[in-house]
């Protein structure tokens, strides 16, 4: 198992045995300074009988029942490091004891790197205390040989600090690592073609009207331009409605069901496509950009937002429809003329009204939104309920991207 800075690797302590045993070190020290067993026992504040028993156990390399404080005092007297004592101590343990230590190490690693409470809430794990089950779930999901590989280079994302992280940071890191690994397992045979993408974008808007097949059709067209689009669910404590990844010379987009809002999903798609078109090189350097989060390259979200609004239903159109917004018939007619789903008109106007102090429209427009499940019925969006990322990627390739 690989070493991890967050805990002592028990198996590293079972490496090459010291050339000089702890017993020999004690005997040499006694001889060098001319101490008897009684004198050393007195120095260490131990009774002679207890000291003789301890020395006998040390000679037999049986340290399990020795008070660790006594071992610490011996390290100070002998001038040796705690790791050397630990190596002798671990080497004296039986297999079951080593297994118990490893279980405690595993628990520490899992609590340090996963918000188990919210992963259970999301349905990803069934228990927050059975670390064998948790490890097996994580290993199977990511395709890892050991849970300690979770921080390995294969799942590395450069923007996260390795310092103490709170639950929100852990969940965000888990979401990003999962999506990155998932996208890497999807075999897109088409190279990224920016010119083709530029040609495709003006054709997207009419597909918003087709609730059941529009997103699927657009995702398939983008796939052939080398842009892979996936729709994982959001997780507790994560607020991402979308993200853009770049690896293997291809951009990939992940959209979530964060607000369970049909218009928002289309808005998020256009927002991320702006990042693909204009922020590709910066995102490539850090491998991903999470919408709404500050990053190393100060990518402007407002510019991407404006791009999505102008493309789908601009502020100018919002101003036009404002006098007629209470008339569903006229709004529906204008939506058809604008080649967008009527929910986009209402949703964008509600945002326009809010920023221009025209009053709140959000509660009045909920009826206009179609069920998002209808729009996403072409794929299993419950990624974090999948047995493994490989299995989920294979289903997506076959059912959506026809490969």
Whole-angstrom Cα Rg for the chain: 30
CA distance 36 to 227: 77
* Same-domain pairing of 148 and 293: no
- Please check whether residues 279 and 185 belong to one and the same domain: yes
Query: Is the pTM of the predicted complex or chain greater than 0.95?
Result: no
- Which alpha helices (DSSP H) does 287-341 contain, by range? 301-312, 315-321, 328-338
For residue 279, the 8-state DSSP code is S
Q: Choose one of 44, 73, 93: the last residue of a domain.
A: 93
Whether residues 137 and 254 share a domain: the answer is no
Q: Are 13 and 87 in contact (CB under 8 A)?
A: yes
75 & 208 share domain: no
CA distance 354 to 362: 9
Structural domain count, the chain: 3
Q: Do 254 and 390 fall into the same domain?
A: yes
Q: Are residues 279 and 376 in the same domain?
A: yes
Same domain, 249 and 390: yes
Q: How far apart are the C-alpha atoms of 181 and 174, rounded to whole Å?
A: 11
220 contact partners, CB below 8 Å, separation of at least 6 = 400, 401, 402
How many CB atoms within 10 Å of residue 357? 6
Q: Does residue 122 belong to any structural domain of this protein?
A: yes
* Claim to verify: residue 231 and residue 122 sit in the same structural domain: no
In 3-state terms, what secondary structure has residue 230?
A: strand
The answer to whether residues 88 and 101 belong to one domain is no
Same domain for 29 and 136? no
Does 216 map to a domain? yes
Query: What residues contact 244, with CB distance under 8 A and at least 6 apart?
Result: 251, 252, 253, 254, 272, 275, 276, 279, 283, 288, 289, 291
Q: Tens-digit pLDDT profile for the chain (403 aa)?
A: 444 444 456 556 555 554 567 788 889 888 988 999 899 989 889 899 988 998 888 888 777 778 888 888 888 888 888 777 777 777 767 788 788 888 888 899 999 999 999 999 999 999 888 888 999 999 999 999 999 999 886 776 765 555 567 768 899 999 999 999 999 999 899 999 999 999 999 999 999 999 999 999 999 999 999 999 999 988 998 888 899 999 889 999 999 888 889 999 999 999 999 999 999 999 998 889 988 776 656 678 899 999 999 999 999 999 999 999 999 999 999 999 999 999 999 999 999 999 999 888 888 888 999 998 888 887 666 899 999 999 999 988 888 888 7
Asked if residue 254 belongs to a domain, the reply is yes
Residue 363 belongs to a domain: no
Asked if residue 324 is part of any domain, the answer here is no
CB 251 within 8 A of CB 276: yes
Q: Are 75 and 106 found together in one domain?
A: no
205, 279: one domain = yes
194's CB contacts (< 8 A; 6+ apart) are 277, 280
Those residues with Cβ within 8 angstroms of residue 50's Cβ, 6 or more apart along the chain or in another chain? 41
Domain residue limits at 112: 97-156
Does residue 341 lie within any of the structural domains? no
Strands 228-230 and 242-247, bridge-based pairing: unpaired
CATH number at residue 89: 1.10.260
Q: Tell how many helices (H) and how many strands (E) occur in the chain.
A: 19, 4
């Amino acid at each position: 198992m690989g070493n991890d800075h967050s805990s002592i690797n028990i198996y590293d302590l079972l490496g090459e045995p010291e050339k000089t045993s702890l017993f020999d070190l004690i005997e040499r020290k006694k001889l060098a300074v001319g101490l008897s067993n009684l004198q050393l026992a007195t120095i260490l504040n131990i009774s002679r009988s207890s000291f003789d028993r301890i020395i006998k156990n040390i000679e037999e390399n049986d340290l399990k029942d020795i008070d660790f404080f006594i071992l610490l005092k011996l390290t100070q007297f002998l001038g040796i490091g705690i790791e050397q004592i630990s190596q002798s101590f671990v080497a004296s343990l039986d297999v079951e004891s080593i297994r118990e230590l490893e279980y405690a190490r595993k628990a520490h690693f899992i609590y340090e790197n996963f918000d188990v409470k919210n992963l259970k809430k999301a349905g990803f794990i069934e228990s927050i205390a059975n670390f064998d089950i948790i490890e097996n779930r994580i290993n199977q999901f990511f395709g890892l040989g050991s849970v300690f590989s979770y921080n390995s280079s294969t799942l590395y994302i450069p923007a996260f600090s390795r310092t103490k992280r709170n639950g929100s940071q852990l969940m965000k890191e888990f979401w990003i690592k999962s999506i990155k690994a998932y996208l890497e397992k999807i075999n897109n045979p088409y190279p990224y073609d920016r010119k083709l993408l530029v040609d495709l974008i003006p054709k997207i808007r009419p597909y918003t009207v087709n609730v059941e097949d529009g997103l699927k059709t657009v995702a398939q067209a983008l796939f052939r331009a080398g842009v892979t689009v996936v729709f994982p669910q959001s997780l507790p404590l994560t607020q991402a409605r979308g993200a853009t990844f770049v690896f293997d010379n291809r951009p990939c987009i992940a959209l979530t069901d964060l607000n369970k809002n049909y218009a928002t999903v289309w808005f998020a798609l256009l927002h991320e496509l702006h990042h693909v078109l204009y922020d590709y090189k910066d995102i490539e350097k850090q491998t991903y950009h999470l919408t709404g989060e500050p990053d190393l390259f100060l990518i402007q979200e407002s510019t991407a937002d404006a791009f999505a609004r102008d493309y789908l239903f601009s502020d100018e159109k919002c101003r036009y429809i404002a006098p007629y917004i209470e008339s569903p018939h006229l709004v529906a007619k204008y939506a058809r003329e604008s080649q967008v789903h009527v929910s986009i008109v209402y949703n964008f106007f509600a945002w326009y009204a809010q920023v221009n102090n025209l009053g709140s429209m959000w509660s009045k427009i909920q009826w206009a939104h179609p069920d998002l499940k209808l729009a996403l019925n072409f794929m299993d969006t419950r990624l974090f309920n999948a047995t493994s990322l490989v299995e989920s990627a294979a289903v997506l390739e076959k059912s959506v991207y026809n490969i």
